[in-house]
A = this chain, B = another copy of it.
Amino acid sequence: MGIENTLISMRREFHKIAETGWLEFETTTRIIDYLKEMDYKVEYGKAIHGTRMGLPTKEEMVEHSKNLNLKKDYDISEILEGYTGAIAKLETGKPGPTIAMRFDIDSNGVEESSDPTHIPMLRGFRSKNPSSMHACGHDGHTAIGLGVAKWIMKNKETLKGNYILIFQPAEEGVRGAHSIVEKNFLKGVDYFLSGHIGMGVEEGVVALGTTGFLATTKFDIFFKGIPSHAGASPELGRNALLAASSCALNLHTLTQFSSGLSRINVGTLVAGSGRNVVPANAKMQIETRSDNEKTNALLVEKVNMVVEGSAKTFGVDFEIKPAGSAPAYNTYDQDFVYFIKDSLESSGFRTTQGLRLGGSEDVAYMLQDVENTGGKTAYMIFGTNLSAPHHNNLFDFDENVLKLAYDAYTKLIDAINEKKSS
């Protein structure tokens, strides 16, 4: 089977077992199996994680693991506690650069369409898991990562330096990258490559020099009051619903900053237990964003104040749980972008100037970490036709993009190897 078919086959395999952030149990073990089969040294479980944000509940983990039949000859107990993802390493033994790559592996909390014209339905690889669908192409990223891993291993005799392939969980909600960065996997990395398929870039084109990653902080906010009968003894209750309502409104008054763009969103609010009970609990999922770190940090400070004040106002307890975060990233390393451009175009690739993302991606933690120690980074967008927007339940992409991305990664590894040798 040629690499093209291998990539497609793997992509469909992972599409079918779509698992959301921190629940990538089957996804992770299959990645480990592939990497071990290729002879990589693979790290996983607690070994690769610092502080994880935005975890599902223990119950959700147990529930999801029940549906799987995972018998492995290695210990997967940590994986089943949500220490998902895997990191493969190869040291060639020859002096040379350390090149790291990152591929995100999680799905979206979306029920996949069963429309008969939807290709995954038609071809039989629709997600088997309810409310879990690869609607952002991370199934493709996983396949590309494994394809590149295979290529590296096949060429290990001619390659120099060291290779680190990061299969990162929980990118959705920007929850997984920081946990891996904390474990120092990117210290000493000379070159860091990552990317995304789709995003509106033209089919067959590679966009270079992506910037405009917004800083973002995600929180889950909890208010806990005291229930009481709303008719008979309303004064005995402490109303968590009103605390949350007042909090939501007041949070939305915070976004006027002269220092840059700022955003807040109370995305969900769930409060109360019954029509005739003073509501004793409320939960909100919120996020802040800015095009710069400082503004986002100031905004987060104000958010904390509003939450505490709202709780105080209604005499309820509160908790603010970090649920995800990503830094702003606006670096544009013109030299390295030109190097990539030349490398790719001289091999027949069509390239275009980088996007301003206008959203958030936690790969930015990795980009920052590498650049802070003098490394070079690139985040590419691999253009392809999409059947529906990202995160839509009809999302699908032209599978040709898998080979395009595979070619780009491997071509760049070659180019970096040559560059260093010069």
Contacts and interface: CB of A to CB of B under 8 A. Distances in A.
Interface stretch (A38-46, A191-199, A311-319, A379-387): A311-319
Given A173-B275, A255-B255, A258-B234, A269 B245 contact: yes
Interface string A41-67: 000000000000000000000000000
A264 to B, nearest CB: 8
A60 to B, nearest CB: 17
A3 interface: no
A358 B232 contact: yes
A355 interface: no
A305 to B, nearest CB: 5
A250 interface: yes
B250 A313 contact: yes
Contact of A258 (B235, B265, B311): B235
A353 interface: no
Nearest to A256: B234
A257 to B, nearest CB: 5
A116 interface: no
A276 interface: yes
A259 B241 contact: no
A21 to B, nearest CB: 12
Interface stretch (A145-153, A283-291, A338-346, A393-401): A283-291
Nearest to A173: B275
Nearest to A228: B258
Contacts of A242: 248-250, 252-253, 266
A218 interface: yes
A253 B249 contact: yes
A214 interface: yes
A268 interface: yes
Nearest to A269: B271
A267 B305 CA distance: 22
Interface in A201-223: 214, 216, 218
Given A249-B249, A267-B276, 4 more contacts: A232-B258, A241-B267, A265-B278, A305-B312
Interface of A: 173, 214, 216, 218, 229-235, 239, 241-242, 244-246, 248-250, 252-253, 255-259, 263-279, 282, 285-287, 289, 295, 298, 302, 305-306, 308-315, 323, 358-360
